[in-house]
Amino acid sequence: MYQFFYDLTGNVIISTIAVAVVPLVNILIVALIGVYLERKVSAWMQDRVGPNRTGPLGLFQTVADFVKMLQKEDATSTEIDRKLYNIAPVLVFAGTFASFAAIPFSKHLIGSEIEVGLFYILAVSSFVVAGILMAGWASNNKYSLLGSMRAAAQIISYEIPTAIVVLSMVMLTGTLSLTQISEIQTAHFWNWYIFGGPGLALSKFLLIPFMIVGFIIIFISTLAEVNRTPFDIPEAESELVAGYFTEYCGTKWAMFMLAEYGNMFAVSAIVSILFFGGYQSPFGYLGNTLGVSWLIPLEQVGWFIAKGWFFIFIQMWLRWTLPRLRVDQLMSLCWKYLIPYAIVNLVIIGIISLL
């Protein structure tokens, strides 16, 4: 994408800024639609109507909320550590923003086409952990500190099963680049890795059950990494008020929310790239059939966004269906079940890929 903007403008600085703005706009749109959808989905699940006053079907509710948030007074406690308190939301948001840089929305619509994309996304999420710890400490509040400790412990624990499943996928595909992983699963949906990947060898059919196990493990652990129910003990409202952002309001609170919804989309994107073909269409491209080549990128973006939102919908569905786990249950799920299963899965996938 950088090359495209560079050819268009011929200026390094303008094209760099343009490339950086695209993920930012993505996160904003994701958060706006995400908050609206969350309200509507929760309302449907609880047999309510949800927002319906601002605009048709309440569509502008989140826009109105966002405007309200921007003009709120920044009320802070006097006992906070002001420097860290101000940096923390920026750091959390920066981690999310950085991960959006390597997500391919279509073959060419990607912030930076780096070879280590998958590994990079896993790595920059550690800035989020540091930011959360910073927020919890700077707030000088028991609830915040406890919430941030829980969040950090949870995220770094669940990074391990995620990383092991990612490792098994990398072993199978032989690349860390998200674009190349998507390209391998081209054409039809039976080439997706959830259905054993491309080709028609015996190994394809042997892989299917282990791919499903891998998908379930990575879905559960990414759900825990973005602190969503049933894994939302860091911000469990009945015990910790709002966890690590109890003391925040206005724009800074909005940055935490943006980061949360941005992260939801990012992990959905990773799951869909690894197992569901990323931006690839499941039924072949309409542009190929009609012979209209400019239609293909649009279709790719459409499919990618559709898959991302599908997984976000499942996350919301689980949030309003399942009760919250206890801390010890959470840790035993990760260390006693997910990690051993993920390691066994890794070994089996390795053996099959050698066949």
Partner 1 sequence: MNYYDILFYLFAIITLASAWFVVTTRNVIYSAFFLLFTFFGVAGIYVLLAADFIAVVQIMVYVGGILILLLFGVMLTNKITNVDIKSGTANLLSASLLTGVLMGALVSVMIFTDWKVEPAEIQTTTIKTLGTMLLTDYVLFFELLGILLLIALIGAASIARREKE
Instruction: Point out which residues bind partner 1 (CB under 8 A).
Output: 12-13, 81, 84, 87, 114-116, 119-120, 122-127, 129-130, 133-134, 137, 145, 149, 152-153, 156, 159, 176
Query: How far apart are CB 84 and partner 1 at their closest, in Å?
Result: 7
What's at 36, amino acid-wise? Answer: Y
Determine contact, residues 235/256, Cβ cutoff 8 Å.
no
Q: Which is nearer to partner 1, 81 or 183 (CB)?
A: 81
With 0-12 / 13-18 / 19 or more C-beta atoms within 10 angstroms meaning exposed / middle / buried, residue 347 is exposed
Tell me how far apart the alpha carbons of residues 133 and 150 are, in angstroms, rounded to a whole number. 9
| Residues 6+ away with beta carbon under 8 Å from 82 | 76, 138
| E-strand stretches of 26-129 | none
Nearer Cβ to partner 1 (119/190): 119
DSSP reduced 3-state for 210? helix
Q: Please say which residue, 126 or 186, places its beta carbon nearer to partner 1.
A: 126
Asked if residues 131 and 88 have their Cβ atoms less than 8 Å apart, the reply is yes
Pick the closer one to partner 1 by CB: 114 or 187.
114
Pick between residue 159 and residue 232 the one whose CB is nearest to partner 1. Answer: 159
Sign of CA dihedral 31, 35, 37, 42: positive
Residue 215 · residue 140 · CB < 8 Å? no
- The distance of closest approach from Cβ of residue 44 to partner 1 in the complex, given in angstroms and rounded to an integer, is 38
- CA 353/CA 355 separation, integer angstroms: 5
**Cβ 117 to partner 1, closest distance in Å?**
9
C-beta closer to partner 1: residue 18 or 122: 122
Helix (H, G, I), strand (E, B) or coil at 188: strand
CB of 186 to partner 1, least distance (A): 21
Q: Minimal CA–CA distance to 334: which of 224, 184, 195, 178?
A: 224
Burial 248-267 (b: 16+ CB within 10 A, else e): bebebbbbbbbbbbbbbbbb
Residue 336 CB, nearest approach to partner 1 (Å): 14
User: To the nearest whole angstrom, how small is the minimum distance from the Cβ of residue 120 to partner 1?
Assistant: 5
Q: Report the nearest approach of partner 1 to the CB of residue 119 (Å).
A: 5
Q: How far is the CB of 165 from partner 1 (least distance, A)?
A: 16
Which tokens is 23 given?
A: 């993920």
DSSP characters over 92-103? HHHHHHHHHTT-
Nearer to partner 1, 256 or 304 (CB): 256
Least distance in Å: CB of 224 to partner 1? 16
Q: Which is nearer to partner 1, 52 or 126 (CB)?
A: 126
Nearer to partner 1, 154 or 182 (CB): 154
